[in-house]
Amino acid sequence: MAGISPALSAQEGQKLDLCISRLLDNEPIQHIIGRCTFCEHTFKVNPFVLIPRPETEQLVSMAFNLPDLPKHVVVMDACTGSGCIAVSLKKERPEWLLYACDASPEALQTARENATLNNTEVCFSLTDILTSERPKGPFDIIVSNPPYVMAKEESSMKPHVLEREPHMALFVPDDNPLIFYHAIADWGKQSLTPNGWLLTEINPLLAEETLSVFTQQGYKNCKITNDIYDKQRFIRCQR
């Protein structure tokens, strides 16, 4: 009869059953299909990288709208994970020079694959930004979505995040939750060009405290920006 889809084959039925079983086991749909969309581009994802969130797309838009940028912009994406930020920036601004780093070799491999998938050139490096061995730049923009979830927030997190996404990319110690922001602020003072910009995603629960990290380091034009859910999610400041 017209308008009625044919029945699934045995093989298709088995695949569907497997997908349903994996979903019931708290596996994210993005892991099951192996990809997701970010800034209208396709990215591979796996258990070694965070699944890009819609709100993080705003961080990319913020970079495009920064004032006083030079003709040839050099960007560092710290804690790049899947590479979604760096690749999206390069995709829309091919004239920009993009660098990106992460402390996870597996994440970097995924990021490299995503750069290739999107036909972009990004220079990746294995770097733990909590150490002093950071790329020296100079950079016009440092952008970052670092780990910022406190361990005490675990009880409010969904199982598919807590059980299936890398804790290394999510959590910070309760007794030092701003550890990555102190490192980024210090790095920016050493490696940003004069009047260079620093953009970072933050924990809304610690917005004012995080802003103080940058103001106390002498950054100017410091501003908190809300995300699409009206949560204090980003900080923009200038060296």
pLDDT at 129: 96
Residue at 90 is within a domain: yes
Residue at 104 is within a domain: yes
Residue at 13 is within a domain: no
| pTM exceeds 0.75, yes or no | yes
SS3 127: coil
pLDDT, tens digit (0-9, with 9 covering 90-100), for 67-77: 989 989 999 99
Residue 161's contacts (CB-CB under 8 Å, 6 or more residues apart) are: 28, 170
pLDDT band at 34 (very low <50, low <70, confident <90, very high): confident
Q: Which amino acid is at 3?
A: G
What is the average pLDDT across 53-64? 96
Residue at 54 is within a domain: yes
Residue at 73 is within a domain: yes
Parent domain of 83: 26-238
What is the average pLDDT across 73-98? 98
Write the CATH number for 129: 3.40.50.150
pLDDT at 202: 98
pLDDT band at 197 (very low <50, low <70, confident <90, very high): very high
Distance CA 143, CA 174 (A): 24
pLDDT, tens digit (0-9, with 9 covering 90-100), for 199-221: 999 999 999 999 999 999 999 99
Strands 139-144 and 192-201: parallel
Number of domains in the chain: 1
